[in-house]
Chain A
Amino acid sequence: MHEPKTDRDARVFALYEQLLEIEQRLIPTGLHVFGRPSSAGEKTDLLKMIASFDRPEAGVRALPEAVAEGAVREFVANGAGAAVRFLEKEGLTPESTRPLFTLLENVSAKLQTNNELDSLVRALRGEFVEPGPGADIIQNPDILPTGRNTHAINPYGVPSAVAFARSEHVANSLLDRYRQENGRYPEAMALVLWGLDNIKTQGEGVAQALWLLGTRPVRDALNRTTSVEAIPLAELGRPRIDVVMTISGIFRDLFSPTVQLLDKAVRLVAQLDEPLETNYVRKHVLQQVEQDACDPDDAAVRVFSNAPGNYGTNVNFMVMDSQWEREETLGDLFVTRKCFAYGRDSKGHAIEGREARVAMDRALSRVEATYQNIDTFEIGLTDVDHYFEYLGGVSKAVEKRAQARPAIYLSDSLSREIKIRSLEETVRLETRAKTLNPKWYEGMLKHGFRGVAEIENHVSNTFGWSATADAVDDWIYAEVANTFLFDDAMLDRLRDLNPHSVHSLAQRLLEANGRGYWEVDESVVDRLREITRNLEDQLEGVHG
């Protein structure tokens, strides 16, 4: 292979990179059935991915990318010994590779059996259900065997040293990407923090927020993270970014000491005596104190969540149920549900979910980029409605308050190379790798009724990105229609399996068109309407 010489070469090479990215993206193929062993016939991809991470706690070293494929194939075909010998020929010592294959042997064996049903039956007899960690299998193969009582983590351990170290690179890449596109640093960013990824990564999202602020966690004598300190500007080499944290109710509950830590970090940075062009937190706090004649304590509120004991933004419910007229309603709903402040003020008084709508409006009005860390292949942008309700919701709220749509970014932190992508890029990638990919939807359709519902859910979740962030290309809707509705054989299959969900899918596409997210010939719309009518007739025939 040679380096690109011309523009033409460069274009082709860039396309090549994009294709590779899709091809190698990991996707779930199908659904699990409780109690049954993994149906993975071909485990090579999974094992290869497991082999691509260093696991110092288990003495496991990642396989170099160049030899990974061959070695794992050898392992699957001929076992651990053969794989170790294979790698010896490649110049790797058995001592360095054996622990990995012991791990892979262990994973393979555990995937072939399943304890879930036994475990349920034992639980029903009131026996002890063993606790176990929760994570993606790639992140932590110790989740096997399943059938255990999954637990969270000790919040005082967050962020772990590893998570904090990894996050420096992510935070820098994020800022680099913004700078490439805008020529300067963003003064303020809005981060979405969830319990999900922060449990599984021991707090990478938390660590990213701390890095952006230019702070590092401090552990006490009992090894608990209870404080933060500022990284000197000279060491940081860039301004401190103002970070608005919208945290899920779940993060708030599971990481209550961490919520205090994040709030502490903002307040620490706000009072550093530094030039305003190097400390955007201080700049904004002072601005707001002057503008609104408010207490500095109120101007430094940056950690927002639901009212105490409440969960979710409801943006997903509103979108799914089509109960909105103007997009800004979705952003406003996000703020209504999420404008409750958490932390402790400078006098040491707990702020336990104090309604702080004005403070949130102000904080969001300065935001130039929004971001969420994604740590998983198993739960992607269009797999659940929570990504668009949060990242989409906050972005829509910023759009109105800052009078400009923010740049919206996501990162893939569970990869060999951590990548920052725009929302649009990520939606395209997810759509190509999953929704439109026969490998994905045929895997789903093996599960009949539920499979069709999954396809419909993915399309609805994709639609959520139109409603909250206008981040879905026309062609995506067109290809969804072509693949699932305008292919008669496919339509018949889906209709037989689950007419309710096909009907919802067709209606969702009509809604996308009706709301202006999908511009397409009227003939296409007519065809969709006809399909919808036929499905309604069928449903009434079935149940009428």
Chain B
Amino acid sequence: MNITVLYVGSSLLAPLKSAEREINHAHRLNLRVATYNFGSPLNDREWLDVEQDLGEANVVFVIHVMDGENASRLVTALERFKDRHDAVVVINCMPELMRRTRMGRLDVNALAGKKERSKVGTLLRSAGSWIGSQARRGKSNRGHGQYLKLVDRLPGILKFVPTAGALTDAKHYLYLFCYFLQPTPANIQSMLLYSLVHYVHDKRLKKIRVAPPEQTPSVAIYHPAARSLFESFAAYRKWYQKRLEPKSTIGLLLMRPQVVSKTTRHYDALIRAIESEGLSVVPAIATLMDNREAVSKFFVEKGKKNVSQIVSLTGFSFVGGPAMNDSAAASEFLRELNLPYRSAVSLDTQTIEAWNESQTGLNPVQAGMQIAIPEIDGATEPFVYGGIPARGQEPVALDDRCTRLARRLRRWNTLQTASRDQIKLAIVLFCFPPNKGNIGTAADLDVFPGVFDVLKRLREEGYRVEVPHSAGELRERLLGGDSEQFGAAANVAYQMSVQEYRRLCPYVREVERDWGPAPGSINAFGGELLIQGLRLGNVFIGVQPTFGFEGDPMRLMMARSGSPHHGFMAFYTYLAKVLNADGVIHFGTHGALEFMPGKQIGLSGECWPDRLIDEMPNFYVYSVNNPSEGSIAKRRSYAELISYLTPPIENAGLYRELAGLKDLVMAYRQSTSETERARLYDSIEALRQEAHF
């Protein structure tokens, strides 16, 4: 007996495989469950396998398939094997697939058109295809909460629907849907069995009784160390051993199916990583479509916050789920709440190995859904923290990523809680093209007066900062100072010995492969690496080293860039390990860090921008008219952008000979006297030459 399941997501595989085992063990059906992740377009070879299995399947489940290309190929394949299949069950897919549902006399096509009066008909219409209808509306579903309540009550309602008659198959569909919505291992097993019992003719199936759906709460708090879910924050607080000090508690948003199906190893690891940084957690199960309910219920209590940061692990938009995003509602809600919002990604449609090997990182589907859209809600820290291994069935954690993310959350926590006079900041300026005259380069920005204003404001806010008398003095001290002594473009704030560099930076050997033995020739003097900048109390104004292409055409000619040079690496090592900066402010559009080689999106610990920015929260003062390069900074250096205005815009106007020329032209056009026009024309011609027209 064969069932083929075509699905998207990472919570189904493990329960499906365990269901296959359990069913065979209990009922000796010789059941084979073939599974395919349809999260991104399949290639021809993969399709051959899919078609082979479809050709042998008694029952086909199609779940959450929303990719147009996979869907249209699947429609064709389902048509081809129509006679082979005893039932095709399509759940939460795009409409063209929904219409392929075939269970006995159930005709979804017809139902969609008809005005079915019965409650079951209404339910059926709304149940299977809510994602599609929501996407068409393009707005978040107000009725979504009610819908969920209905889903909770559905098994109860279905009890009263007669099993015989016109609605039989619709009822079966809704039963399968109930199992699917609460994908506990037992429910997934029941879902498969139920479909076999009702649609496959086989003697062995006659006596099997299928358990009714198990219920789990729609929102709750989960913790790996707890035996059961908590339905209120009070109950969770009572159980939680550590103090739940709101100022150092992270609110996590988890995917409900993942918890219900008990595929939570990646969540568990991240939770432990965060706790081992001395932070507490409130891991809340959120519904797929709208995280506001879980946040309002568990992260806020009588107007007081229980958490200080929110980390979404759902991989979807905050309001709207996988099919659409109501970003306006999301950002308004988060603004009111005023809690920083992070979104971390577990690999859904590629394996850990594929991501590891990929030079691009996240594939297009995940880059679009899980990075680009959460960003519009206001999410930061786009980390990949887990995924399914090639030979695995459920997500596991990427331990080093969990640690990095957890430590970054702790650094953010420091910024939130520490006394301002204890906080150390680095403000990083750029210099391009490399020339002393270009220190403080930034598109459309006069950097020094802005930095000067920032310093003054920081002092008012209680930061320990020495403020120069003027923006000019700040610039002179940075450009002058001891720079000549080292042949440097700017003041040298720190000399890092090679020994110290090796001790503090774990990547020196890799840098040496590209740039030769440390310290090399860039930002180096007398065998030491030079950190250019100015220390003003707890604030350091640094000058970011350049790419290091100067006078090195061979390096420019390489198709693939190498690592940052020793000077670059040492600069950020200084910020992270010597200065121990609690935060870095990159000042103006734009620098080089975020363009260093590595994956494009969804970085690993091998990627240079990740290594350079390390655990430091990164703020980036960035031009509002450059969302594209700004997004690279967000994704590859975990920057939170603070947009700045562009300069005032005016008509260019005319000047000098151009103004004179226009006067003559106007006179010519208005003149009615031919002699005057001839005279004017001569003047125009003369001036035209002068103005190079």
Scan residues 1-31 of chain A and give those whose CB is less than 8 A from a CB of chain B. Answer: 1-2, 8, 12-13, 15-16, 18-19, 22-31
A-chain residues with CB within 8 Å of residue B69 when the two chains form the complex:
226-227
Q: Does B375 contact A151, Cβ atoms closer than 8 Å?
A: yes
In angstroms, Cα B659 to Cα A439, docked, is 13
Q: Does A28 contact B553, Cβ atoms closer than 8 Å?
A: no
Interface 9-mer from B37-45, B169-177, B254-262, B263-271:
B37-45
In angstroms, Cα B552 to Cα A147, docked, is 39
Q: Does B652 contact A27, Cβ atoms closer than 8 Å?
A: yes
Chain B 485-512 interface 0/1 with A at a Cβ cutoff of 8 Å (1 = within): 0000000000000000000000000000
Q: Does B454 contact A250, Cβ atoms closer than 8 Å?
A: no
Q: Does A116 contact B644, Cβ atoms closer than 8 Å?
A: yes
Tell me if B193 counts as interface (CB < 8 A to partner A).
Answer: no
Across the interface, B553 reaches (CB within 8 A) one of A24, A318, A500, namely A318
Q: Does B340 contact A127, Cβ atoms closer than 8 Å?
A: yes
Q: Does A224 contact B68, Cβ atoms closer than 8 Å?
A: yes
In angstroms, Cα B415 to Cα A492, docked, is 47
Tell me if B373 counts as interface (CB < 8 A to partner A).
Answer: yes
Beyond A126-B309, A128-B340, is A120–B359 a contact (Cβ under 8 Å)? no
Q: Does A129 contact B446, Cβ atoms closer than 8 Å?
A: no
Scan residues 440-461 of chain B and give those whose CB is less than 8 A from a CB of chain A. Answer: 440-441, 443-451, 453-454, 457-458, 461
Beyond A12-B665, A23-B662, is A437–B553 a contact (Cβ under 8 Å)? no
The residue in A8, A124, A339, A449 that gathers the most chain B C-beta atoms within 10 A of its C-beta is: A124
In angstroms, Cα B547 to Cα A317, docked, is 10
Beyond A16-B665, A310-B561, is A134–B643 a contact (Cβ under 8 Å)? yes
Scan residues 663-690 of chain B and give those whose CB is less than 8 A from a CB of chain A. Answer: 665-666, 668-670, 677, 681, 684, 688
Scan residues 630-650 of chain B and give those whose CB is less than 8 A from a CB of chain A. Answer: 630-632, 634-635, 640-650
Closest to B598 in A: A309
Q: Shortest distance in angstroms between A276's beta carbon and chain B's nearest beta carbon?
A: 28
Beyond A15-B693, A128-B335, A309-B598, is A134–B630 a contact (Cβ under 8 Å)? yes
Q: Does B597 contact A310, Cβ atoms closer than 8 Å?
A: yes
In angstroms, Cα B648 to Cα A24, docked, is 15
Beyond A39-B648, A121-B461, A153-B372, is A133–B556 a contact (Cβ under 8 Å)? no
B-chain residues with CB within 8 Å of residue A15 when the two chains form the complex:
661, 665, 684, 688, 693
A-chain residues with CB within 8 Å of residue B629 when the two chains form the complex:
195-196, 250
Tell me if A173 counts as interface (CB < 8 A to partner B).
Answer: no
Closest to A23 in B: B654
The residue in A26, A318, A323, A355 that gathers the most chain B C-beta atoms within 10 A of its C-beta is: A323
Q: Determine the interface band of chain B, counting residues with CB < 8 A from chain A.
A: 35 or more
Q: Shortest distance in angstroms between A335's beta carbon and chain B's nearest beta carbon?
A: 9
Q: Does B323 contact A18, Cβ atoms closer than 8 Å?
A: no
Tell me if B624 counts as interface (CB < 8 A to partner A).
Answer: yes
Q: Does A117 contact B652, Cβ atoms closer than 8 Å?
A: no
B-chain residues with CB within 8 Å of residue A134 when the two chains form the complex:
624-628, 630, 643
B-chain residues with CB within 8 Å of residue A19 when the two chains form the complex:
654, 658, 661-662, 665
In angstroms, Cα B45 to Cα A125, docked, is 52
Chain B 359-390 interface 0/1 with A at a Cβ cutoff of 8 Å (1 = within): 11101110110001101111010000000000
Q: Shortest distance in angstroms between A391's beta carbon and chain B's nearest beta carbon?
A: 16
Closest to A323 in B: B553
Q: Does B557 contact A333, Cβ atoms closer than 8 Å?
A: yes
Scan residues 163-197 of chain A and give those whose CB is less than 8 A from a CB of chain B. Answer: 194-196
Q: Does A348 contact B42, Cβ atoms closer than 8 Å?
A: yes
Q: Does B652 contact A250, Cβ atoms closer than 8 Å?
A: no
Tell me if A240 counts as interface (CB < 8 A to partner B).
Answer: no
Q: Does B551 contact A29, Cβ atoms closer than 8 Å?
A: no
Q: Does A32 contact B358, Cβ atoms closer than 8 Å?
A: no
Q: Shortest distance in angstroms between A44's beta carbon and chain B's nearest beta carbon?
A: 8
A-chain residues with CB within 8 Å of residue B400 when the two chains form the complex:
none
Interface 9-mer from A73-81, A253-261, A281-289:
A253-261
Tell me if A336 counts as interface (CB < 8 A to partner B).
Answer: yes
Beyond A126-B412, A130-B378, A501-B435, is A254–B631 a contact (Cβ under 8 Å)? yes
The residue in B138, B681, B692 that gathers the most chain A C-beta atoms within 10 A of its C-beta is: B692
In angstroms, Cα B200 to Cα A370, docked, is 62
Tell me if B277 counts as interface (CB < 8 A to partner A).
Answer: no
Closest to A307 in B: B560
Q: Does B136 contact A504, Cβ atoms closer than 8 Å?
A: no
Beyond A120-B619, A126-B412, is A498–B684 a contact (Cβ under 8 Å)? no
Beyond A38-B648, A151-B376, is A307–B556 a contact (Cβ under 8 Å)? no
Tell me if A82 counts as interface (CB < 8 A to partner B).
Answer: no
The residue in A32, A117, A500 that gathers the most chain B C-beta atoms within 10 A of its C-beta is: A32
Tell me if B18 counts as interface (CB < 8 A to partner A).
Answer: no
Q: Shortest distance in angstroms between A371's beta carbon and chain B's nearest beta carbon?
A: 19
In angstroms, Cα B451 to Cα A264, docked, is 47
Across the interface, B437 reaches (CB within 8 A) one of A253, A312, A355, A456, namely A456
In angstroms, Cα B628 to Cα A249, docked, is 10
Q: Does B628 contact A199, Cβ atoms closer than 8 Å?
A: yes
Across the interface, A223 reaches (CB within 8 A) one of B135, B376, B446, B642, namely B135
Beyond A116-B642, A128-B337, A309-B599, is A35–B450 a contact (Cβ under 8 Å)? yes
Q: Does B627 contact A120, Cβ atoms closer than 8 Å?
A: no
In angstroms, Cα B131 to Cα A433, docked, is 52
Interface 9-mer from B290-298, B324-332, B521-529, B566-574:
B324-332
Q: Shortest distance in angstroms between A321's beta carbon and chain B's nearest beta carbon?
A: 6
A-chain residues with CB within 8 Å of residue B652 when the two chains form the complex:
22-27, 432-434, 437, 439-440
Beyond A117-B454, A252-B600, is A32–B649 a contact (Cβ under 8 Å)? no
B-chain residues with CB within 8 Å of residue A146 when the two chains form the complex:
624, 643-645
Q: Does B41 contact A29, Cβ atoms closer than 8 Å?
A: no
Q: Does B653 contact A34, Cβ atoms closer than 8 Å?
A: no
Beyond A124-B415, A146-B644, A434-B652, is A34–B453 a contact (Cβ under 8 Å)? yes
28 contacts between A and B (CB under 8 A): A18-B693, A29-B650, A34-B451, A116-B643, A119-B642, A124-B619, A128-B337, A137-B625, A153-B627, A194-B628, A195-B628, A196-B626, A223-B136, A249-B595, A251-B628, A254-B628, A256-B363, A257-B368, A314-B549, A321-B550, A347-B44, A348-B42, A352-B358, A432-B652, A437-B652, A448-B472, A473-B692, A499-B437
By Cβ-Cβ distance, the 7 closest A-B pairs, closest first, are: A134-B627, A500-B437, A195-B628, A34-B450, A40-B648, A348-B43, A308-B359
